[in-house]
Structure 1
């Protein structure tokens, strides 16, 4: 659940404006200064799930995978970057949904993914690729 309105940058290194305590970080609670107020959000990566399933379609002898990036909390996420080191596909992925730049992928062109919604795309490779979130912005209201 999120508190005061604001945007919080979350990264694998847990870099953001202000940390309340080490216990808050381990519990997934973060804080940021927004003007004179401090907003608290408990919306980090444990609320972003990435599920994959085979579609049964084959492209160039590679299975096609459907990927669903689920935002499982009421907060909006944006600028979602995934670890894509080693990602390959023989099927074009719409770059407005997933753009690859070296070892990092930007989901949804960096645009917001609303709370309790998902983003889907497909790719073709064997085996499936283990996408993992690297960082994002979280806006809670």
Structure 2
């Protein structure tokens, strides 16, 4: 009986710890997008460097940015960012971004586009 009680308490304790952060889901607020001008011009358009940063303590995959009307005169690696017809940009082909990691890409257009996190899946 005592062994069953100890196992129950241990399971309860582990559940409480998991809910307090060890298995925390990441919100879209933990994906930060920084867009900065590089100072380079391509075909008369300013070049912009975009950095996607994962602030969560878990890996995040399937990161999708809202990018309606996104276009560029500079080629962008589709393995880094791929735009779909519905105005969404998939980052890293959906592969995960490690905690505190970044991925960057550049594009050239005027004016710069407002890119916002729209979707992600956390892997804790």
TM bucket by the smaller chain? 0.7 to 0.9
Which one has a larger percent strand, Structure 1 or Structure 2?
1
**Corresponding residue for 1:87?**
70
Gap regions ≥5 residues in structure 1: 5-28, 30-38
Aligned positions, number = 105
For residues 91 and 44 of structure 2, the distance between their equivalents in structure 1, rounded to whole angstroms, comes to 26
Which one has a larger percent helix, Structure 1 or Structure 2?
2
**Corresponding residue for 1:130?**
114
Query: Which is greater in Rg?
Result: 2
Deviation at 1:122, TM superposition (A): 0.2
Gap regions ≥5 residues in structure 2: 1-16
For residues 56 and 62 of structure 2, the distance between their equivalents in structure 1, rounded to whole angstroms, comes to 16
CA RMSD of aligned residues (A): 1.7
Runs of 4+ aligned residues of structure 1 deviating over 6 Å after TM superposition are none
So what's the TM-score if we normalise by structure 1? Answer: 0.70
Structure 1 residues 48-67: aligned runs within 5 Å: 48-67=31-50
Deviation at 1:40, TM superposition (A): 4.8
Does the CA contact (< 8 Å) of 2:66 and 2:115 recur in 1?
yes
